[in-house]
Structures are given as structure tokens and as C-alpha cells.
């Protein structure tokens, strides 16, 4: 099979958003929940609904940052024996169907290590991934793996939390490629009803360190929140709330994604 073109769609999307002064909307989906066919359908729908970036979460039995909702979706996917090869196949399929939305692999390091670090970087790029987020991998660790990702032009996105010191945040931001994932909550993922009161101040402080886009995730669950947060940040990431709607059915999730996309893009 011929490899995918090496152009990084994530960098292109971010550059486009900067030029147009547009906000970025990112959706998280758990691979294989409720099944692989649904995952593929939802990825294609997201692009039509105006989603700018797709995070494809790989299910893991011992997640560091995921709350009950995403843990549930991961458990259901693992019962179906979802593999990293399935992730590559799904992305390969949507690329073959013309999907040009940037897709980021979100997963913990253990499955990547088990797959083979060098092979993972190569196969992920060939399949059509544009970046990776590994919550339990710091910028100082696994430098050979990070080098392999850079060679394949896979953007490595790192997370900054409210509890991260300024000195540490500066180092993380410097290493993060594409955008910086700002964790808005002190805790794990999960839908919340209110926006953290100190969010704007935290983001203003981080913006002094870099002009990279800061996308806010963890806890965003309603269009009103997405609209408010997008005014403070460069974009919004929504995961648990999508999964909650997906429990009710695919159409419920699709309607929710549409509403959230409109809230971010038309504040």
C-alpha cells in the first residue's frame, strides 16, 4: 500500500485559523465505542459539522487522566478487543474517503511501547495521523520515540494544568507542537456545569510565554461553556460530553457536536 502524503494537516489547520482569526473546535472520540463502524461514521460526520481537529482516543485499562465517562467507553471498546491496528485502519479508511480533518492519536504510552515505538511512529503517519497526545509521557522521557515522531512529522502535543508551575509550563509549552492542551480542571476528565473562575487569568499568564494556540479541555459540556471558553482561548476540546450523548445514540452525539461547533465558531 502506498504511504499517505507526509503533509501535516494539523499545522495547516492551525495556520489557517491564525490567519482567519478563527477559533478551533476539537472533538475526542474513543476508538471502538460503541463500535468501529460508529467511530468511522462519527469521524466523517465531525468534518462535515465543522470540527477542526479530531482526537482519536485509544482505549486503555489504566488511564491516568480519564474520568468515569471515558473510562466507561474504553472498557466497552476493550471488551471488543480493539487494537492499535484498528486505529490505523479506521484513519486509513476515512482518509481514503477524502477526510482532510487533522486527526491526533490520544493514548497512553504502554500500548505504544507494546506495539513497538519505532513502528508506531511510522505506521501512524502512513495511516494518516497528524499528531499524538500521550498524557503519561513528559517531554524529558523516551527521547528516541519523540525523535522518531519528529522524523515522521507527527506533532507531539503536551498538556499544561492549573497546578503546573510557570517554570515547568514554559518548558512544556516550548516542546509542544501544533498547539498546547490546557487542562482547565484540577482532576480527571468529565463534564462540568461551570467554567473555572480563574481560567482567563491562567490563560493570560500562559500567553506571555508563547504565541502557540492554547486549546482548553476537561469539563466542557454545554454550548454556553464552549462559547465562553472560546472567547478566552484559541479553541475548545470536548470529549466526555460527546461520549455521554453517544450513550443515548449516534444521532444524539451528532446533534450535540453540531451545536458545540456552532457555539465555538459563532461566539
What's the pLDDT at 206? Answer: 95
How many CB atoms lie under 10 A from the CB of residue 7?
Answer: 10
89: left (phi over 0), alpha (psi -120 to 50) or beta: alpha
145-to-106, 182, 220 alpha-carbon distances in Å? 15, 23, 31
pLDDT digits (tens, 9 = 90+) for 65-121: 567 899 999 999 999 999 999 999 999 999 999 999 999 999 999 999 999 999 999
- What's the pLDDT at 63? 67
Above 70 in pLDDT, residue 190? no
The whole-chain average pLDDT of the chain stands at 92
Asked if pLDDT for residue 187 goes beyond 50, the answer is no
Catalytic residue among 66, 130, 234, 244: 66
- Asked if residues 24 and 157 have their Cβ atoms less than 8 Å apart, the reply is no
Q: Is 142 a catalytic residue?
A: no
pLDDT range class, residue 23, cuts 50, 70, 90: very high
Instruction: Tell me how far apart the alpha carbons of residues 184 and 62 are, in angstroms, rounded to a whole number.
Output: 22
Q: Show the DSSP H helices in the chain as ranges.
A: 9-20, 36-48, 68-79, 84-96, 109-115, 117-127, 143-151, 166-175, 199-207, 223-232, 240-248, 250-265
Per DSSP bridges, beta strands 159-160 and 155-157 are: unpaired
Q: For the residues 197-225, what does the mean pLDDT come to?
A: 92
66 is catalytic: yes
d(CA 47, CA 256) in angstroms, rounded, equals: 14
Domain boundaries, the chain: 9-265
Task: Calculate Rg over the CA atoms of the chain.
Answer: 17
Q: What percent of the chain has pLDDT over 70?
A: 91
Instruction: Give the N- to C-terminal CA distance of the chain in Å, as an integer.
Output: 43
Strands of the 155-157 sheet, one edge to the other: 155-157, 131-133, 103-106, 53-57, 24-30, 235-238, 214-217, 180-183, 159-160
Q: Which of 40, 47, 52, 55 is catalytic?
A: 55
8-state DSSP, 217: E
Question: Please, which residues bridge with residue 175 across strands?
Answer: none
Read off the pLDDT of each residue in 253-259 and give the average, rounded to a whole number: 98
CA distance 141 to 250: 38
CATH architecture for residues 9-265: Alpha-Beta Barrel (3.20)
Amino acid at each position: 500500500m502506498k504511504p499517505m502524503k507526509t503533509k501535516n494537516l494539523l499545522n495547516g489547520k492551525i495556520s489557517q485559523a491564525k490567519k482567519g482569526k478563527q477559533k478551533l473546535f476539537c472533538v475526542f472520540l474513543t476508538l471502538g465505542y460503541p463500535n468501529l463502524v460508529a467511530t468511522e461514521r462519527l469521524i466523517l460526520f465531525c468534518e462535515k459539522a465543522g470540527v477542526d481537529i479530531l482526537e482519536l482516543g485509544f482505549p486503555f485499562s489504566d488511564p491516568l487522566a480519564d474520568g468515569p465517562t471515558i473510562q466507561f467507553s474504553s472498557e466497552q471498546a476493550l471488551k471488543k478487543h480493539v487494537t492499535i491496528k484498528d486505529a490505523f485502519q479506521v484513519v486509513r479508511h476515512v482518509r481514503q474517503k477524502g477526510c482532510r480533518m487533522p486527526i491526533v492519536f490520544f493514548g497512553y504510552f504502554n500500548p505504544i511501547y507494546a506495539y513497538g515505538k519505532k513502528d508506531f511512529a511510522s505506521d501512524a503517519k502512513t495511516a494518516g495521523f497528524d499528531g499524538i497526545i500521550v498524557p503519561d509521557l513528559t517531554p524529558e522521557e523516551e527521547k528516541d520515540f519523540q525523535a522518531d515522531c519528529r522524523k515522521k512529522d507527527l506533532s507531539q502535543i503536551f498538556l499544561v494544568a492549573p497546578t503546573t508551575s510557570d517554570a515547568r509550563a514554559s518548558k512544556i509549552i516550548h516542546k509542544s507542537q501544533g498547539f498546547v492542551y490546557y487542562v482547565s480542571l484540577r482532576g480527571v476528565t468529565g463534564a462540568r456545569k461551570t467554567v473555572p473562575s480563574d481560567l482567563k487569568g491562567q490563560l493570560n499568564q500562559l500567553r506571555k510565554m508563547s504565541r502557540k494556540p492554547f486549546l482548553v479541555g476537561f469539563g466542557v459540556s454545554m454550548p454556553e461553556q464552549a462559547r465562553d471558553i472560546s472567547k478566552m482561548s484559541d479553541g475548545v476540546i470536548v470529549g466526555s460530553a460527546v461520549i455521554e450523548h453517544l450513550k443515548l445514540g449516534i444521532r444524539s452525539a451528532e446533534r450535540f457536536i453540531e451545536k458545540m461547533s456552532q457555539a465555538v465558531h459563532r461566539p
